[in-house]
Amino acid sequence: MLAYTYVEPGKFELLEKPRPVLQDSRDAIVRVSLSSICTSDLHIKHGSVPRAVSGITVGHEMVGIVEEVGADVSTVCPGDRVTVNVETFCGKCFFCQNGWVNNCTDPHGGWALGCRIDGGQAECVRVPYADQGLDRIPDTVSDLQSLLVGDVLATGYWGAQIAQIQPGDTVLIIGAGPTGLCTLQCVLLQNPGKVILCEKDPDRRQFVAEQYPQVETVAPEQVVEKVKAWSCHGGADAVLEVAGTPESFRLAWECARPNAVVVVVALYDGPQTLPLPDMYGKNLIFKTGGVDGCHCKEILELIAAGKIDTTSLITHTYPLREIETAYELFENRRDGVIKVAICGQSE
């Protein structure tokens, strides 16, 4: 089968590989219908994910049809249409039992698919702990509607959950990339009073203004002043930082009101500075990433109910054999691209 492969830093290649086989009684084999390209894939390509293993098939955001299950898989059967979770987790250890599946203590726990084990930018993928890693897609929900559930939408949902948003709150989201836009949809479900989205790219601000007219959009240069003007207590009640730059990190705590929750959803290239003397008296609560991706079932129900719809974020679709072109487009952010879908089936 065809599999897009991390060959060495700087080099991905579409290679012919054997189909994956069950390696454990809790595994499932999934035929990939659609996969997507994530910024984390680019981090692997550029060698900034030290744990990434060369030779693995990349891709950790996908939906497909279960082809085969091990003897101990009980929640899905061959023929089921499923979302695949970016995180591998056992469901039994201390962290899993508390819902902190990102910290699962299994040797393969956490982000393994498409990083340490073969992922889904391929015709088929082996999913370990299939009972935890797969969720059945409701019949009324399409593959395209559920494509982002296992990764960026799971991240947005998790961020919005831990931000402790109260009805009527002013919420600031920094960054309108795919994860920021998923975060926005999940924040809107929490009945905030006002949502402000800070983004430097005017095209992305325009996109948000058109899609979500109830949301205020603002450029980073104006955000401190605008958030102050638009909130009741001198700053946002909750801030979700999804941009991942030193500037956005600073804005996140600057724009927060005293005693606010600041959720750091973003992944940074390097350490960030907490200038504690400048922050003294703000009594902020920081919550740092990454995602505990164990709410895919709830997210699928919200999609089925028409409360979340990320299809407008998927701006381009390519067949697997043209994945090189898809990466080139995504990496260079050409043609207004937000997310690219890859059709897994080879005709």
**Binding residues vs Zn ion (CB under 5 A):** 38, 40, 89-90, 93, 96, 104, 151
Q: Cβ 136 to Zn ion, closest distance in Å?
A: 21
Q: Which is nearer to Zn ion, 237 or 292 (CB)?
A: 292
Distance from C-alpha of 200 to C-alpha of 156, rounded to nearest angstrom: 19
Q: Which is nearer to Zn ion, 267 or 304 (CB)?
A: 267
Q: Cβ 265 to Zn ion, closest distance in Å?
A: 12
Q: Cβ 260 to Zn ion, closest distance in Å?
A: 27
Q: How crowded is residue 18: how many other Cβ atoms within 10 Å of its Cβ?
A: 7
Q: Cβ 64 to Zn ion, closest distance in Å?
A: 17
User: Which pair of structure tokens corresponds to residue 22?
Assistant: 């069950």
Q: Cβ 170 to Zn ion, closest distance in Å?
A: 29
Q: Which is nearer to Zn ion, 89 or 157 (CB)?
A: 89
Q: Which is nearer to Zn ion, 28 or 227 (CB)?
A: 28
Distance from C-alpha of 16 to C-alpha of 89, rounded to nearest angstrom: 29
Sequence-separated (6 or more) residues with CB below 8 Å from residue 69? 22, 27, 28, 29, 76, 77, 78, 130
What's the one-letter identity of residue 155? T
Distance from C-alpha of 323 to C-alpha of 302, rounded to nearest angstrom: 30
Q: Which is nearer to Zn ion, 38 or 52 (CB)?
A: 38
- Where helices occur in 121-197 by DSSP H, the ranges are 130-133, 143-146, 152-162, 178-188
Q: How crowded is residue 214: how many other Cβ atoms within 10 Å of its Cβ?
A: 8
Q: Cβ 339 to Zn ion, closest distance in Å?
A: 11
Burial 187-198 (b: 16+ CB within 10 A, else e): bbebebebbbbb
Q: Which is nearer to Zn ion, 121 or 170 (CB)?
A: 121
Distances (CA, A) of 283 to 141, 273, 280: 43, 17, 7
